[in-house]
Structure 1
Amino acid sequence: MDCSGCGFKVEGGYAFCPRCGRRQPVPCASCGYLCAPDFEFCPKCGASVGTPAKAVERPAPTPSRTIVPPSRTPSLLANIESEDGLHPVSDADRRTVTVLFADLCGFTTLSEQLDPEVMQALQNELFKELTAAVRNFGGFVDKFIGDALLALFGAPVAHEDDPERALRAALDMIARTARLGERAPHSGSPLLLHIGINTGPVVTGGLGIGTAKSYSVTGDTVNTAQRLQSLAAPGEVLVGELTHRLTRHAFSYESLGDVVLRGKAGGVLVHRLDAPLTAPRAARGLEALGLSAPMIGRAAELN
């Protein structure tokens, strides 16, 4: 294109002539007609200079609410924090959950005997084994407290046989801990767990404030499970009454009777887990209660 002032050949895209400095015509973005620099609209097609004819001007979005990315959507783990304090959202969920507390016996003594770095490595290896046992049976590791583990069966995902899953996970945890004690460097004494398991109603949801908030459960069921764990001897698994009632078709127990647990009013029926039954009974019906109702006087009909 030649300059309209001096005739110098101007390359495409130049707004000014490099020889005389004259402003060059602007091509219409719609039809391509060369418009004078001071034209607002194309004299050929009427389109605004520099704007395509079919372009649609979109109004600026009006901010209405804060959009939370999907990865941070507070579906289960959020409270709304304001100047008035904390207002719980509708993530709270009341449900029946089997709570498992597992604790390493002699942790304080072991910490005195081992170097802190060795102790940390042992704890991490132990937590790895315990977590694998919980997840293998569909449980959820709520948190680690010192040398203890809190696991949930029935939250956030529920199964029909969650109490039975919790017991099988407990036996697996004890076996894994024993194997770890055989190969890990420590004082030479066996590594043993004592475990408490209890089933009952809890409220699940986000507990804590800000970044410390996490999915957890609260209720007396959790407290009772922790008291059962404290009562259990090394290598023992103690369970509450409801857990026993829901799993006695598949496991053998030794009853310890009514036991007064620290901080609780009245006694709690406690049972010591023995082992899985070689021939499990039905989970429902009279057989689950150790009863039977044979047909009498119906031989002909049965034949």
Structure 2
Amino acid sequence: MVKADLSGSTQLGERLDAEDLRGVLASYFAALAHEIRRHGGTVDKYVGDGVIAVFGLPEPRRGDAVRAVRAAVEMQRAVVRANVQLERRYGVRLSLRIGLHTSELAGDARGDVLPMGDSLAVAEHLEAAAPLGSAVVSEATRRAAARAFRFERAAPVTVRGRAEPIAAFRVVAPIRELQASAPPGMSASLQVSDENKAVLEEERKIVTVLFADVAPPERAGAALPPDEARAVLASYFDVVAREIRRFGGTIDKYIGDAVMAVFGAPVSHDDDGARAVGAALAIQAAIRKNNDRLERDDAVRLAVRVGVNTGEVVAGLLPGDLRAYTVTGDAVNTAQRIESATPAGEVLVSEGTRALARGAFAYEAVPPLTLKGKSQPVRAYRVLGAAQPQPDLDVRRPALVGREAELGRLRDLYALARAGTGQAVHLHGEGGVGKSRLISEFLATGRARRRSRRSPIFSGECSGSRPRTTSPPRAPRSSRARRYTAR
């Protein structure tokens, strides 16, 4: 497993437009992917400003570890070359850290990595400990590539879920040149097919990003055997995926034991923030329920952290020959780092997410979070649960501007209905464009006339952020019909 992370992209994202940042990262990712494929590896996924690759799937080959280390060296050289143009254009440079670990890893016939967690977790911790511009490998990778490269011992690395730090080694230089030819039939694992790319065009969007991660399962303080850990983690992934989809989110990728989901891309709703927070709470509730069974059957309990953040991204297919749909921007990195700072069993959200879902949930402020790549602490809030209903308040709203034509059309149709010609209006549009406000304004302006002419008007709503089983689309009609006919 190879985990590479570009350092400096978060600060660059704070200075650049999201579209410019996407273009810069795409050029770096293309260079990294080229070296990975050239040396026989497969790009598994992109994660924020990082890339994960695997060597040895679908079929292991002699020298996979050597090719992986060679690719890491060439990736560092590719970043140095790309920095020349970046520095000339923006006056900044990016740096690359790489971690490599060799172990047994599950995969399917297509070469897709199955999320076991430990192998990737080790590579991720080695990457995090690597000095900028270097590659750090585990003992297993060092042994497998010892004939081709020279290494020097680095400081031991602590890996979450392991009782003892692991040995780490920095790649110094290749001992001999290695022929790096990719095996036939290997290609990057794609997240979308070519026939779908027309509906996934690049666009700016405000989305809410959810990260969920679980601590490696243990029994009596010791790590579970791989087969047992796989079964336990499978139940965790099932729970997380089910709740994300139930609330209308899209699973973007699996990253070791973590799951990244997006609410608002490729499909938007007017309550994506509330959907994401609702999904986060539902994940924790389902995990607690699932823990009762796990503790009874396997003497194991899972501890899950969930972080949620809202912000602007550029969503769409990555440029180049990799047809991977993803969202790019600082909002993704911030969500992942909020999750990493979240206590087990809790949900933390950013200020932006809280603002979007303010009326739906109760929150309490936590001390500002010091996050990697952020020059200032980030405000965050613990989600306590669903908010208690509040009485309607007489709050003055800003004037509605630019909807005179639509309001006039609604009034004309209402007049026809009152004259005896029934009408039906379907008002539709992207989430957040103002559909609810337009209807509210129409009803408010006609309130005096309705009082004098005694026109019965019924209103109802179906919360899109709730699962259909508790709030079906027919709920407004059925509830109002029951109330009216019961009189």
Whether 1:130 aligns to 2:243 is no
Rounded Cα–Cα distance in structure 2 between residues aligned with 1:284 and 1:131: 41
- Closer/same/farther in 2, CA of residues 108 and 141 from structure 1, 3 Å limit: same
SS at match of 1:180: helix
Equivalent of 1:172, from 282, 285, 298? 282
- Closer/same/farther in 2, CA of residues 280 and 114 from structure 1, 3 Å limit: farther
**Which residue is 2:212 aligned to?**
102
- Closer/same/farther in 2, CA of residues 282 and 251 from structure 1, 3 Å limit: farther
**Which residue is 1:271 aligned to?**
381
- Closer/same/farther in 2, CA of residues 233 and 217 from structure 1, 3 Å limit: same
SS at match of 2:197: coil
**Which residue is 2:100 aligned to?**
none
Amino acid at match of 2:350: G
Identify the structure with the greater helix proportion.
2
- Closer/same/farther in 2, CA of residues 96 and 254 from structure 1, 3 Å limit: same
**Which residue is 1:200 aligned to?**
311
Tell which structure's C-alpha radius of gyration is larger.
1
TM-superposed CA distance for 1:286, in Å, is 5.8
Rounded Cα–Cα distance in structure 1 between residues aligned with 2:341 and 2:354: 17
**Which residue is 1:74 aligned to?**
197
Equivalent of 1:155, from 265, 277, 281? 265
Q: Which one is further off, 253-262 or 243-252?
A: 253-262
Q: Is 2:217–2:301's contact at 8 Å kept on the other side of the alignment?
A: no
SS at match of 1:205: strand
Amino acid at match of 1:107: P
Rounded Cα–Cα distance in structure 2 between residues aligned with 1:120 and 1:243: 33
TM-superposed CA distance for 1:163, in Å, is 0.5
Q: Is 1:163–1:247's contact at 8 Å kept on the other side of the alignment?
A: yes
Rounded Cα–Cα distance in structure 2 between residues aligned with 1:282 and 1:224: 35
**Which residue is 1:190 aligned to?**
301
Runs of 5+ unmatched residues, structure 1:
1-69, 78-90, 288-303
- Closer/same/farther in 2, CA of residues 280 and 203 from structure 1, 3 Å limit: farther
SS at match of 1:270: strand
Q: Which one is further off, 109-118 or 157-166?
A: 109-118
- Closer/same/farther in 2, CA of residues 239 and 73 from structure 1, 3 Å limit: closer
**Which residue is 2:328 aligned to?**
218
**Which residue is 2:364 aligned to?**
254
Deviation per residue, 1:213-253 (Å, 9 max, x gap): 42211110011111110110011111111111121212111
Runs of 5+ unmatched residues, structure 2:
1-192, 398-487
SS at match of 1:177: helix
Whether 1:231 aligns to 2:341 is yes
Q: Is 2:294–2:301's contact at 8 Å kept on the other side of the alignment?
A: no
Deviation per residue, 1:101-144 (Å, 9 max, x gap): 0001x217579522212211222221111111011111111111
TM-superposed CA distance for 1:280, in Å, is 5.0
Please report the TM-score for the alignment, with normalisation by the length of structure 2: 0.39
- Closer/same/farther in 2, CA of residues 284 and 119 from structure 1, 3 Å limit: farther
Please report the TM-score for the alignment, with normalisation by the length of structure 1: 0.60
TM-superposed CA distance for 1:273, in Å, is 0.9
**Which residue is 1:240 aligned to?**
350
SS at match of 1:184: helix
Rounded Cα–Cα distance in structure 2 between residues aligned with 1:206 and 1:283: 44
